[in-house]
Amino acid sequence: MRSRFINRLAFSVLVMLGVSAITFLLMFLAGDPAALLASEDATAAEVEAIRKAYGFDRPIVVQYLDWLWHAVQGDLGVSYQSRRPALELILHALPNTLLLIACALALSVSTGVIVGVLAATFRGSRFDRLVITGSVFVQSLPSFWLGIVMILIFSATLRLLPTSGFRGPSYLILPAVTLATFQVGTFARMVRSSMLEVLDSDFVRTARAKGASAGSIVFGHALPNAALPIITVVGLELGGLYGGAVVTETVFGWPGVNTLALSAITSRDMPVIQAFVLVVGILVVITNLVIDMLYTILDPRTRGAR
Amino acid sequence: MSHATSLPLRPQPQSPSKARPINLRLLIPAGLLGVIVVIACLAPWISPYGPNSQDLSARLLPPLWQAGGSTKHLLGTDDLGRDILTRIMYGARVSLSIGAIAVICRMVSGVLIGLVAGYFGGPLLTFFMRLGDVQLALPTLVLAIGVIAALGPSTSNVILVLAITGWVLYARLVVSQVIVVRRQDYIASAQLLGASHCRIIFKHLLPNIIPSVIVFASLDLGLMMLTEGSLSFLGLGVQPPEPSWGGMAAGGRALISTAWWIATLPGAALVVTVALVNVLGEQLRDRLDPRLDATRSA
């Protein structure tokens, strides 16, 4: 098991290096970085001076290694806009984004498990068919539209919940529900199919034959086994959650990293954009690593295997 | 980028014979979707208004069924007096065409890379699969923010972003199948008969993987339309005043409490279209490739 962990860790470090290379190259995709830094009416000589001063005249590999060396030490450059360190800006807004994602994830997993277990237990029933149809529908809902409709219903019409910003727990409800909805369908279907598989297996049949109650079969035998794949799906859905958070934060004016990155686009504040892409990429890699290890620890069947 | 596993809705058909009764579940969404496509194509001839023609005397008119609604503007008008229904019809062109072009770009690049890398294997395969791992660590919208911050927002950059974030999913699907198929005897005999690599890849491998690729692409189309909508909503995609469903929703957001129809109706059009595409995709999967686990991304 230890060698598996070491392999996974090495792999994750490689992926992070790849993410860092993509992040670095974004700067050059934007055009001449020296011209971007210079003021609009700068002469060619002034641009050249900036190029020299910032080291943009060196070979690209050297520049990347230099950038990486600084990045490892937490220096991702200074925001063109606010003149503050880019990483500091991102890390300052990150807790809000993580809070939103964590709440949405908790909401979608718990709802998905309940709905999925019920659908599998009453396989073929009207409820089961409703869950299948509903999950397709839910996956057709764009977050921006759902968010706007929620604001229309719960804020503009019923005046129950606040629309934007973050000044207390009630501000979290609409964004979290909006972000969770897309994933509920995925989790419900996953739990349903995973439960159906386990309910058909020999050990459940044995438990039934020995006279176990329906509740003990579903919750004592089937669910613990069916729950494992959910952990994997959570890992696979993370990217979608981060992406959905971009839209959700915009709709609800949530003060997170995505709102920060979007406002940096208008001013072409590349250091902030780079810090954003790098931090999200590293977070996704780390979460996937943790999930993979968790899976190995929880599932005795993977212990012997490589 | 993410994936979700979902199971086929119905068990695998007992006998996959060609002559099956006409499936209404397949025909109805296909027909409705066809209607939407026809309306999108014929928008200039159906609507008496242009998508950007303003009528300041008819600003913020509500839809027909609300008090103050007018039969001249069935779904009302926006703050510049533009007809919402007309803009939704023109928006369908944007949404459907960008979605379709993005899927074709993702599919062609992913299938080509998957076929070649899967057939030759070795370092080529390792390179593309590791590159894919790196890309999957960056969610589509996050990479989109990075790329569009660098290149500037435009329709072609949206397609570019969707293509470069999606080839991995197709390539993985193709590689997983090519690796199995290329070990079979008929591939070996084709090689012994002196068939070129090119002939083996396109004549023998490609036909094997086409059904699952088509199913995957049909499930991908809805997601691409959602992503395009989101990008345009964020101001990173199709730029106003060109009518796109996401952009119209963003434009009407500030007026939500006074003129709800401006922001919600274009999004509703997207919901209906994507739902039809998804239902169609699920039906296709059940018919063509019931075992395929749809890997979806957002």
What is the spatial distance between Cα A17 and Cα A8, in angstroms, rounded to a whole number?
14
As a whole number, mean pLDDT of residues B19-26 equals 71
In this predicted model, which residue has the larger pLDDT, B275 or A218? B275
B245 to chain A: nearest residue by CA? A145
- CB A272, CB A79: distance < 8 Å: yes
What is the spatial distance between Cα B3 and Cα B136, in angstroms, rounded to a whole number?
10
What is the spatial distance between Cα A220 and Cα B2, in angstroms, rounded to a whole number?
31
pLDDT given for residue A105 in this prediction: 93
pLDDT given for residue A304 in this prediction: 56
A196 to chain B: which residues are within 8 Å by CB?
A: 7
Q: Which of A139, A249, A267 has the most B C-beta neighbours within 10 Å, making it the best mutation to test the interface with B?
A: A139
What is the spatial distance between Cα A163 and Cα A160, in angstroms, rounded to a whole number?
10
A87-302, what's its fold? MetI-like fold (1.10.3720)
pLDDT given for residue B289 in this prediction: 66
As a whole number, mean pLDDT of residues B69-91 equals 89
Q: Do B256 and A261 touch (CB under 8 A)?
A: no
Question: Is the minimum CB–CB distance between A153 and chain B shorter than 8 Å?
Answer: no
Whole-number CA gyration radius for chain A: 24
A246 to chain B: which residues are within 8 Å by CB?
A: 141-142, 145, 230, 234
Spans of chain A, pLDDT less than 50: 305-306
- Nearest-Cα distance to chain B for A206, in Å, is 24
* Alpha helices, DSSP H, located in A73-201: 86-121, 126-138, 143-150, 170-199
- CB A294, CB B147: distance < 8 Å: no
As a whole number, mean pLDDT of residues B126-150 equals 89
- Nearest-Cα distance to chain B for A49, in Å, is 23
- Nearest-Cα distance to chain A for B52, in Å, is 22
Q: Do B145 and A262 touch (CB under 8 A)?
A: yes
CATH number, span B84-290: 1.10.3720.10
Q: Do B260 and A190 touch (CB under 8 A)?
A: no
Asked if residue B16 has pLDDT above 60, the reply is no
Any idea how long chain A is?
Answer: 306
- Nearest-Cα distance to chain B for A229, in Å, is 10
Asked if residue B6 has pLDDT above 70, the reply is no
Any idea how long chain B is?
Answer: 298
Structure confidence by residue, pLDDT tens digits, B202-233: 998 999 899 889 989 988 999 999 999 999 99
- CB B36, CB B276: distance < 8 Å: yes
Nearest to A261 among B135, B145, B279 (CB): B145
CB neighbourhood size of B165 (10 A): 26
**Hey, what amino acid is at B42?**
L
Q: Name B137's Cβ contacts closer than 8 Å, sequence gap at least 6.
A: A15, A16, A18, A19, A239, A281, A284, A285, A288
Segments making up each domain of chain B, as ranges: 84-290
Question: Is the minimum CB–CB distance between A109 and chain B shorter than 8 Å?
Answer: no
pLDDT given for residue B295 in this prediction: 38
Q: B 124-163 residues with CB below 8 A of A?
A: 130-131, 133-143, 145-151, 153
CA A297, chain centre distance (Å): 23
A20 to chain B: which residues are within 8 Å by CB?
A: none
From residue B34, alpha-carbon distances to B27, B39, B138 in Å are 10, 9, 35
Q: Do B226 and A142 touch (CB under 8 A)?
A: yes
Q: Do A144 and B1 touch (CB under 8 A)?
A: no
Structure confidence by residue, pLDDT tens digits, B100-128: 999 999 999 999 999 999 999 889 999 99
What is the spatial distance between Cα A100 and Cα A245, in angstroms, rounded to a whole number?
8
Q: Do A139 and B296 touch (CB under 8 A)?
A: yes
Structure confidence by residue, pLDDT tens digits, A165-204: 888 888 999 999 999 998 898 899 889 988 888 888 888 8
Structure confidence by residue, pLDDT tens digits, B175-196: 998 988 888 898 889 989 999 9
Facing residues of A85 across strands? A78
- Nearest-Cα distance to chain B for A57, in Å, is 20
- CB B91, CB B277: distance < 8 Å: no
What is the spatial distance between Cα A16 and Cα A22, in angstroms, rounded to a whole number?
10
pLDDT given for residue A20 in this prediction: 94
A14 to chain B: which residues are within 8 Å by CB?
A: 130
Segments making up each domain of chain A, as ranges: 2-72, 87-302
Terminal alpha carbon distance of chain B? 6
As a whole number, mean pLDDT of residues B140-164 equals 89
- Phi-psi sector, A52: left (phi>0), alpha (psi -120 to 50), beta: alpha
pLDDT given for residue B292 in this prediction: 53
Ranking A107-111, B57-61, B164-168, B212-216 by mean pLDDT, the lowest is B57-61
- CB B144, CB A265: distance < 8 Å: no
Asked if residue B293 has pLDDT above 70, the reply is no
What is the spatial distance between Cα A122 and Cα A116, in angstroms, rounded to a whole number?
10
Write the DSSP assignment of B124-162 as a string of letters: HHHHHHHHHHHHHTS-HHHHHHHHHHHH---HHHHHHHH
pLDDT given for residue A198 in this prediction: 87
From residue A268, alpha-carbon distances to A33, A82, A261, A274, A278 in Å are 11, 12, 10, 11, 17
What confidence category does residue B290 fall into, taking pLDDT thresholds of 50, 70 and 90?
low
- CB A145, CB B246: distance < 8 Å: no
Nearest to A144 among B2, B147, B229 (CB): B229
A240 to chain B: which residues are within 8 Å by CB?
A: 1-2, 4, 139, 296-298
Q: Is the pTM of this model over 0.80?
A: yes
Question: Is the minimum CB–CB distance between A243 and chain B shorter than 8 Å?
Answer: yes
pLDDT given for residue B170 in this prediction: 94
Which of A20, A6, A99, A29 is closest to A64 using CA atoms? A20
